[in-house]
Amino acid sequence: MNMKRVYYEDVRFFTSGVVFFWFVALLLFLAAFPFLFKNYYVYVANYIAINVIVAIGLNILVGYTGQISLGHAGFFAIGAYGTLVLMTKAHLPFLVALPLSALVAALFGFLLGLPALRLEGPYLAIATLGFGMTVTQVIGRVGFFGGRQGLHAPELSIGPWNLSTDRDFYYLLITITILLTLAARNIIKTRVGRSFIAIRDADIAAETMGVNLVFYKTLSFALSAFYTGVAGGLYAFVLRYIEPEIFTLLRSIMFLSMVVVGGLGSIMGSVAGACLLSWMDLQLRNILNIPYLGEWLKTLSQSFFSITGVSNIQFILYGLIMILIMLFEPLGIFGIWIRTKKYWKMWPF
């Protein structure tokens, strides 16, 4: 049934007609999305797409290669600032500036990967965390990058098209997201991806089998940083304004929680986790506007808590989700999906 007999079956993209059908349906839905929903939801979709790219990139590092990173906000910042600086100061077109700054992020990823060769666990966590904080602090204090005031994104036009509204930008963003998702899925199926997984499962064993640890670990860091850099560059145009405050440790933690909630070591899981958490993030920012629940929270806050701090409920919910997922379903949403699929497979028998 599910047995793979030849290599081709393993790497094939559409494993069945059903998958092909849903893929086409998804593409059609994404193409029609801006016409079906109002402007705000297009912005939400853009925000989600950015996080999807980061989550996939981070999953390559955390889920597939087994390295921890608490510093991805740094790569995100490098991507965002790199793109804007290359566009405003060097007057490069967007389609050149974006990959260039992502490559710069990848270079930093490679450099961070070098000490990471010898580090693991808490040591790696503090090293990456330090990297992320350093990047944000340095960028926030150098006048060339706008300092505390931040940078404004210039008008974006590619060839004859002027992508000034969320709706126009949506198509560019979704195209890049889909391409990067497919690319990640294919990378994992190749020799490179199998080396990553071997390193995750047992790095010394992988080395004895002929996997070049230095090459593949740094490659994993660089690849992950590349994805995050691309996302950062695009995010600058979703917000149209960037400042160092955006790229804090909290954002790195949020990226990590997306990957964990979605499911370590699964591309589709990352997509799901990013969708869920970024949607929650946007919704919970104005939690008092949610019908019924908002009213109740308001009275509760007024009598027992402070009304000014009510938006912090989102941290509580975030933390709860992270803990519950880790305790009861370590594979995240992907694990829940696998279990449901198994349960219904033989239905109704």
Partner 1 sequence: MLNFLQMIVNGMAAGSTYALMGLAMVIIYKTTEVPNFTQGEMALLSSYLTYMFLDQYGVPYHVVFPAALVFAFVLGCVLEFVVLRRAKEPNILGMIVITIGLEMILMGFVSWKFGADQKTMPFPITPYDSVVIGKVFISTLELLTMGMVLLLMTGLFVFLRYSKLGIAMKATQQNDVAARLMGIRTDRIRMATWGISSTVGCTAGLLISSIVMQPYMMWDPLLKGFAAAVMGGMTSLPGAVFGAYMLGIIENLFGGYISIEFKSVVAFAIIVLVLCVKPSGLFARHYVKKV
Binding site for partner 1 (CB under 8 A): 62, 66, 68, 114-115, 118-123, 125-127, 129-131, 133-134, 137-138, 141, 202, 204-205, 249, 253, 256-257, 260, 264, 301, 304-306, 308-310, 312-323, 326-327, 330
CB nearer to partner 1: pick between 32 and 316: 316
Rounded least distance, CB 334 to partner 1, Å: 15
CB nearer to partner 1: pick between 121 and 291: 121
Closest CA to 266 of 330, 346, 343, 175: 330
Residue ranges of E strands in 134-203: 151-152, 157-158, 161-162
Rounded to the nearest 10°, the torsion over CA 18, 19, 25, 28 is -150
Rounded least distance, CB 248 to partner 1, Å: 10
Closest CA to 59 of 238, 195, 197, 172: 197
Rounded least distance, CB 119 to partner 1, Å: 5
Distance between CA atoms of residues 173 and 195, nearest Å: 30
Rounded least distance, CB 86 to partner 1, Å: 24
88 CB-near residues (< 8 Å, 6+ apart): 151, 154
CB nearer to partner 1: pick between 168 and 207: 207
Q: Which helix (H) or strand (E) holds 336?
A: helix 332-345
CB nearer to partner 1: pick between 228 and 257: 257
CB nearer to partner 1: pick between 12 and 339: 339
CB nearer to partner 1: pick between 238 and 246: 246
Closest CA to 310 of 320, 301, 323, 321: 301
Rounded least distance, CB 99 to partner 1, Å: 27
CB nearer to partner 1: pick between 174 and 260: 260
Residue 152's CB is within 10 A of a number of other CB atoms, namely 13
Rounded least distance, CB 80 to partner 1, Å: 19
Residue ranges of E strands in the chain: 151-152, 157-158, 161-162, 241-242
Rounded least distance, CB 160 to partner 1, Å: 44
Distance between CA atoms of residues 147 and 154, nearest Å: 17
At residue 151, φ and ψ (nearest 5 deg) are: -125, 145
